[in-house]
Structure 1
Amino acid sequence: MKTALLPTFFAAASLLFSSMSFAIELDSAKEQGLVGEQTDGYLGAVVSQPDVLALIKEVNAKRKDKYNQLASKNNLTLEQVEKLAAKKAYEKTTAGHYVLVNGNWVKK
Structure 2
Amino acid sequence: MKRIFSTLIILFAMSFSVQAMDLQAAKQAGLVGEQVNGYLGAVKPSAEVNALVKEVNEKRKAKYQELATKHNVTVQAISARAAKKAMSMTEQGQFIESAPGQWKKK
TM-score (norm 2): 0.78
Check the 8 A contact 2:65/2:75 in 1, yes or no. Answer: yes
Q: Give 1:61 shift.
A: 0.1
**Aligned structure 1 segments of 4 or more residues deviating by more than 3 angstroms:** none
Which structure has the bigger radius of gyration? Answer: 2
Distance in 1 of aligned mates of 2:22 and 2:98: 24
Q: Which residue of 1 aligns with 2:40?
A: 43
Q: Which residue of 2 aligns with 1:105?
A: 103
Distance in 1 of aligned mates of 2:33 and 2:99: 14
Aligned residue pair count: 87
Percent identity at matched positions? 48
One-letter amino acid of the structure 2 residue matched with residue 90 of structure 1: M
SS at match of 1:41: coil
Deviates more, 1:48-57 or 1:98-107: 98-107
Distance in 2 of aligned mates of 1:88 and 1:68: 17
Aligned residue runs from structure 1 range 13-32, under 5 A: 25-32=22-29
Q: Which residue of 2 aligns with 1:78?
A: 75
Q: Which residue of 2 aligns with 1:93?
A: 90
Q: Give 1:102 shift.
A: 2.2
Distance in 1 of aligned mates of 2:27 and 2:60: 16
SS at match of 1:79: helix
TM-score (norm 1): 0.77
Distance in 1 of aligned mates of 2:56 and 2:45: 15
Q: Over aligned residues, Cα RMSD in angstroms? A: 1.5
